[in-house]
Amino acid sequence: MRGNRIAALRPSRVRARSAAVAAFVVLAAMVPAAVSAAGTQEVDTELPYVCALPSGRQPVTVRVSAAFPDRAEAGEAISPTGVTTTVELPAEAVADLIALEAATVRAATRLTVGVAQNEAAAEATWRGTTEPVAVPGAGPLTLTATGDVPSVTGQGDGDLTFSAGNLAVDLALGTADGAAAGPGALTVDCSPAGDATEGGLLATVPVGAGAAEPSGPPSASGSPSGTPAPPSGAPAPSSGAPEDGQGNRAPRVAENPPGAAADREVPHCAYDEENPFTSASLNAYITGYTNVKKQKGASLLPLSCVLIEQGDLYPEVDEDGNLHIVVNATGRLHHEGRMQTPPFRSTFLSFGFVPTTATMVLEQTGPMTIRFDSLMLETIKAETVIRAPFRLRVTALEVNGTPLDVGSGCRTEKPLRSTEPDPANHPGDHLVLYGRGEHTPPEDATGYMLLDGGPLTGEATIPAFTGCGTDGEDLDRLLTASVSGPGNYIKQVQGRTCLPSGPVFETPETKGQCTEDLQPYQIPVPER
């Protein structure tokens, strides 16, 4: 890896195949319900926040629930599980959404969690996403987000505290027919109500020898005596750096949640003799998650390479006289000379006890088009639409270590498809991903920008499967029943692009675009 670079008795073979297919969550790592067990402490804390809504700052109730271990050893990673962030938006927020003609809303939450031990502090970001929620005729509106969170490791003996800080809620707005509503996206920034040094405590985990017994579930009224909650916005010191001059070291926060890019091999991503670069060439890494609605879970999309060719650049003036710069580009996945993702394996437990592993790829079956439209104001506002056809192909399946032959042609019968807002000009089945971003120089850009990368979102229908099974056994119907269907949310994250024909940046201080061998320097982290 590089630098910052996730019943009735039947023949056993039939039973194994049926078990594998009926629970075919190779597209979705199933998220089992958290089970309370000995050695854990369950947390369910309600906290008051103030959020900046279009209509002004409003009080908002936030509830955070998770399971923590009741104690840990020094140097042992603590991984909270069953993390849920519930945000109850008031009636005023619902009125704002209605004014934007939003019929549905999907949320992604980013909760800053302060972690402290022996007066040394760091920060972690807890991310979560929700399913689409209908906007009611009147408030309130409750949004419940779930997701994996990074682990935290205490660097010595002493209580390790987790405290809730600032919260950002990214809202994707949709109309009743699936198109983007209003601005398409809206970010709501929230901060704890009152004094940031009071309240917000989520859990205390005793670490190391002589640690006190864990306290009961914390209340929202304040921290236990002698357990300071680090204020939101405190800088996160580097791992192992002394924090207080007395040898105390800050808790170490994992860079990414489980399965993120830093935990996986980084595929080769560079132009070559068969794919020569030009002055308009870019390359980047992409990753992300896709939900599978039938399985009520999400699957990690593999870290993949995309080669981009910038095309025409031309100005447009809108009806208000504002100047837009539009860039049309094309892209293609690139893995060992093929337009596909690298093969990726998913392992899960069918029915909670049968280990099942599948290998699959996403194959690009036609042109990928990119339209990047930037509104040239003091703050540059950009909208991006990406269209591309992809089929899902399953190449291998194992149940309890026993390979099952799905055949060489097991795939979706058509490309995955999204609702196309302009079908006359863009016919056929394909995915549609949307991105929005802003840039006020010299500050860093936020959201999605073509050169800087960022999140892109969309929703897809998974078609029926075909060509699956051998020895005269047709597995198509079982796979289709387990996986295929509409309403599968996708969140793809693109890293910063590398411009091979431009300067090479080799160090983080230069916000590295390219490695020495002209591959993208930045490895994106998947988000839900």
Q: Please give the pLDDT value at position 503.
A: 56
Distance CA 172, CA 257 (A): 23
Q: Name the residue with tokens 């935290």.
A: 152
Whether 157 maps to a domain, the answer reads yes
- What kind and span of H or E run contains 482? helix 476-483
Contact between 420 and 461 under an 8 Å Cβ cutoff? The reply is no
Distance CA 270, CA 280 (A): 14
Distance CA 196, CA 233 (A): 10
Same domain, 238 and 109: yes
Whether 18 maps to a domain, the answer reads no
Task: Find the helix packing angle between 476-483 and 12-22, rounded to 10°.
Answer: 30
Distance CA 46, CA 86 (A): 9
Whether 29 maps to a domain, the answer reads no
Same domain, 439 and 399: yes
Claim: this prediction has a pTM higher than 0.75 = no
Q: Please give the pLDDT value at position 155.
A: 81
Structural domain of 173 = 37-253
In the listed set 202, 234, 253, which residue is the last one of a domain according to the structure?
A: 253
- What kind and span of H or E run contains 21? helix 12-22
Whether 369 maps to a domain, the answer reads yes
Whether 527 maps to a domain, the answer reads no
Q: Please give the pLDDT value at position 7.
A: 32
Same domain, 238 and 375: no
In the listed set 200, 221, 253, which residue is the last one of a domain according to the structure?
A: 253
Tokens encoding 74: 């020094």
Select from 415, 402, 398, 397 the least CA-distant residue to 466: 415
Residue pLDDT tens, the chain, 528 long: 343 443 333 343 333 333 333 333 333 332 232 333 347 898 999 999 999 888 888 899 999 999 999 888 888 888 888 899 999 999 998 998 888 888 888 888 889 999 988 888 888 888 888 888 889 988 789 999 887 788 888 888 889 999 999 998 988 888 877 667 777 677 888 999 875 445 689 999 999 864 544 444 443 333 333 333 333 333 333 333 334 445 567 788 765 554 444 444 688 998 888 888 888 899 999 998 887 776 666 677 888 999 999 988 889 998 888 899 999 999 999 998 899 998 876 554 444 444 545 677 999 999 999 999 999 888 899 999 999 999 999 887 766 677 778 888 999 999 999 999 999 999 999 999 999 999 888 888 889 999 999 999 999 999 998 998 887 778 788 778 777 899 888 999 999 999 877 655 444 444 558 888 888 988 887 776
Tokens encoding 247: 């040898």
Same domain, 399 and 468: yes
In the listed set 253, 270, 302, which residue is the last one of a domain according to the structure?
A: 253
Q: Domain count for the chain, please give it.
A: 2
Same domain, 246 and 271: no
Same domain, 237 and 384: no
Same domain, 213 and 350: no
Q: Please give the pLDDT value at position 106.
A: 84
Residue 179 identity: A
Whether 523 maps to a domain, the answer reads no
Same domain, 240 and 291: no
pLDDT in tens, 466-509: 998 887 778 788 778 777 899 888 999 999 999 877 655 444 44
